[in-house]
Amino acid sequence: MKIKIINKSNHQLPHYETIASAGMDLRANLSEPRTLKPLERSIVGTGLFIELPIGYEAQVRPRSGLAAKKGITVLNAPGTIDADYRGEIGVILVNLSNEEFTIESGERIAQLVIAKHERADWVQVEELSETDRGEGGFGSTGVK
């Protein structure tokens, strides 16, 4: 699949690191380093603008290494970029650690996954079909 992209950063385009990678790393595009204090959040620009085909979305997800090692994650994970959005891709980062974290321009801050999606048509009814689970909610399918 080919996707149109404008790169206004000084960094390389996102790319797949391996043949089996689902996501591509997004890099921070900053004029100067930005420090996140513990529990602080910030929208970090990437300098990237994309045009997705209708029926697809781009999901902005955390990088597992950054989350595990530094406590930095994407606040609204996964963030969704709709096919009709033409603005800059921004990443809402949050620092969940007890230490300050400085983001440098060019640093890999998130990953982008392109995904096909369906649109639903609601059919309003008076009742739903029966299942073994029924109305069992959170944790209801675990071992008893």
> Kind of pairing, strands 24-27 and 108-116?
antiparallel
pLDDT band of 136, cuts 50, 70, 90: confident
Structural domain boundaries enclosing 23: 4-116
**For residue 131, is it within any domain?**
no
pLDDT, tens only, 47-88 = 999 999 999 999 999 999 999 999 999 999 999 999 999 999
- Please give the helix or strand (H or E) that residue 50 lies within, else none: strand 48-51
Annotated binding site: 63-65, 76, 80-82
- Residue 116's pLDDT is 97
- Residue 144's pLDDT is 55
70: CATH: 2.70.40.10
**For residue 135, is it within any domain?**
no
pLDDT, tens only, 95-106 = 999 999 999 999
- Residue 95's pLDDT is 98
Q: Between the CA of residue 65 and those of 83, 101, 111, 117, what are the distances in Å?
A: 28, 14, 11, 27
For residue 105 the two structure tokens come to: 């321009």
Q: What percent of the chain has pLDDT over 90?
A: 90
How many domains, the chain? 1
**For residue 134, is it within any domain?**
no
Confidence check: pLDDT of 28 > 70? yes
- Please give the helix or strand (H or E) that residue 66 lies within, else none: helix 64-70
Annotated binding site for substrate: 63-65, 76, 80-82
Confidence check: pLDDT of 138 > 80? no
